[in-house]
Amino acid sequence: MKTLRIGTRGSALALKQAEMTEAALASLFPDLEVKRVIIKTTGDRRTDVALKEVAKAEGVWDKGVFIKELELALEENEIDVAVHSLKDLPSELDAQFQLRAVLERAAVADAWIGKIPWAEVKKGTRVGTSSVRRARQLEHLRPGVVMGDLRGNVPTRLRKAAVDLDYDGILLAEAGLQRLGYATEGILEIERHPLFVECLCHTEFFPAAGQGAVGLEIRRGDEESGAIMDALNHDPTWDQVTAEREFLRLLEAGCSTPIGVWSTLEGELMEMSARVYPESGGAPRLASASGVVPLEVASQLFENLK
């Protein structure tokens, strides 16, 4: 292969993840020419309404609005690899596609960014997020908070947190802040407005499956691209995200089901915990599991949740 075409969204975070992929490719395949193809997705275009409303209009699941056009470009052979935030990929892909590799995972935590410290979040605090998982967990952990829908890329959301009087704070992924060079602890200044930043322990505030990982998707059967992706794959991250995504698959949850799940890997021992909120409301179901075979740990976690 003389040229590998990688497809990416055009947001600052997506471009950073494309750069990470390109750097890994350059290190392992210095003679390989890499062409970046920027693709605008439905989710990027429609920031005026909630994700679930965009998804409903497009006939896809909530985060599918961020992958639809990338997969179309793969299908039509316009790109060879699609670079994703892994948490945006459904646990089961269409038959013609394959998640082939993941880069080494960054931090998995969610971060609080607000005009007030996390310790002061209480009844009446106004919080912005587009994630039902984050919203439901926060409502459960801090009863009485007022949730508001928040759309846009990371810089846009940070600006809204700083200057928009409708929000006392917002929730974002720590990995996104890290990759874009923002502070993840202490004070973050946006347009001369100081914001408190605190990363929430993953055992307190459960992350999304695959959070912090970059996924590399190819056309199934494209073994030339697949062999290159295999060289990039980070095995410990692959084991963790495989287990987390298998748990989602077994759960057969709807696109609006709020699910938090985390895993740790110490040597061969994997530990997992999950928190699943009913779509109709109410307290979450909790479960934990451990073992040395990722798919078996995911299956045990699912069984323990029943």
pLDDT 10s digits, 251-285:
987 556 799 999 999 999 999 999 999 887 788 99
Same-domain check for residues 248 and 288: yes
> At what angle are helices 12-28 and 154-163 packed, to 10 degrees?
140
The whole-number pLDDT of residue 70 equals 94
Residue 38 lies in a domain: yes
Domain with residue 181: its CATH number is 3.40.190.10
Residue 295 belongs to some domain of the structure: yes
Asked whether residue 195 falls in the same domain as residue 223, the answer is: no
Pairwise CA distance, residues 262 & 244, whole Å: 7
Whether 152 contacts 13, CB under 8 Å: no
Distance CA 118, CA 168 (A): 10
CATH number for 246: 3.30.160.40
Same domain? For 221 and 98 the reply is yes
Do both 29 and 153 map to the same domain? no
Residues 59 and 190 both lie in one domain: no
Residues 244, 302, single domain; the answer is yes
Task: Return per-residue pLDDT of the chain as tens, 306 residues.
Answer: 689 999 999 999 999 999 999 999 999 999 999 999 999 766 455 455 454 554 444 444 444 666 889 999 999 999 999 999 999 898 999 999 999 999 999 999 999 999 999 999 999 999 999 899 999 999 999 999 999 999 889 999 999 999 999 999 999 999 999 999 999 999 999 999 999 999 999 999 999 999 999 999 999 999 999 999 999 999 999 999 999 999 999 998 755 679 999 999 999 999 999 999 988 778 899 999 999 999 999 999 999 997
- Tell me if 37 is assigned to some domain: yes
Q: Is residue 226 part of a domain?
A: yes
Interhelix angle 235-251/294-305, nearest 10 degrees = 30
Q: From the candidates 31, 44, 48, 88, which is the catalytic residue?
A: 88
Measured CA to CA, the distance from residue 202 to residue 216 in angstroms comes to 24
Instruction: State the pTM of this model.
Output: 0.90
The answer to whether residues 91 and 225 belong to one domain is yes
Residues 249 and 298 in one domain: yes
- Pair (174, 96) in one structural domain: no
How far are the Cα atoms of 11, 15, 45, 62 from residue 78, in angstroms, in the given order? 20, 18, 20, 25
Kindly state whether residues 119 and 180 are assigned to the same domain.
yes
What's the structural domain count of the chain?
3
Q: Is 120 in the same domain as 187?
A: yes
Residue 217's beta-bridge partner residues?
82, 99
Lookup: tokens for 149: 């829908």
Whether residue 88 lies in the annotated active site: yes
Whether 208 is in a domain gets the answer no
Q: What are phi and psi of 68, to 5 degrees?
A: -55, -50
Q: Are residues 73 and 131 in the same domain?
A: no
Range of the domain at 192: 110-200
Q: Is 205 domain-assigned?
A: no
Residue 223 lies in a domain: yes
- Cα angle: 24, vertex 260, 246; to 5 degrees: 65
